[in-house]
A = this chain, B = another copy of it.
Amino acid sequence: MILEAARFVFARQGYRDTIVDDIAERAGVGKGTLYLYFRSKEEIYLAVVVSDMRRLDELTRARIAEAGSWHEKVRAYMQVRLDYLERHRDFVRIYMAEFRSMMLRGNPVPFDLHQMARDCEGHLAQIFAAAVAKREIRMIDPEFAAATVSDLTRGLMERRLMDEAPVASKIDFMMDVLRSGLTV
């Protein structure tokens, strides 16, 4: 599968250092064949990122919906991302190492992807807002709390990608700090 091969190569070399022949070779087809299915290198890249991103987004929604209390929901958010990472390392490498760089630099990013990232954090904020309303946690800015969780999760993912240590106990630690830091 071409996308398979592309993901593999992009994850290791990054967009600019990936040469199209490498993708073709890994996919076991000729370079010309790639251009039967995609119009350009960029189109291949986007196809890889978008499909995986959608899947992660859906999984996140589903798992959060299942969870009950606010901290179960927050934990679900962290857990689903770290589980996803285990199965889709290559995608996560691309997302973390390249996609965030593009946003940081203010490069044009396909609009729906940008949107998806924002939505996800908005979702977290709603969870916190609800918990505040129900007095389960003290008065805080839900946006700040959402940002905090999102930052912690990204940190965990990056660490997991870089060194091989498992992260389960680190999730426990962070959830622990959050709960005792946020409850009334």
Report A's interface with B, CB cutoff 8 A. 11-14, 16-17, 93, 96-98, 100-101, 103-106, 140-141, 144-145, 147-148, 150-152, 154-156, 158-159, 161-162, 169-170, 173-174, 176-182
* A181 touches which of B12, B162, B177 (Cβ 8 Å): B177
Write the chain B residue with the least CB distance to A104.
B97
Copies in the complex: 2
Q: List 24 A-B contacts (CB under 8 A).
A: A14-B101, A16-B16, A16-B17, A93-B104, A96-B101, A97-B101, A97-B104, A97-B105, A98-B101, A101-B101, A104-B158, A104-B161, A104-B162, A106-B162, A141-B169, A144-B173, A148-B152, A148-B174, A150-B155, A151-B152, A152-B152, A152-B155, A155-B155, A177-B177
Residue contact A14 to B97, C-beta cutoff 8 Å: no
Known: A14-B105, A96-B104, A177-B177. A155 touches B162 (CB 8 A): no
With A16-B16, A16-B17 known, 4 other A-B pairs at CB within 8 A are A97-B101, A145-B173, A151-B151, A180-B180
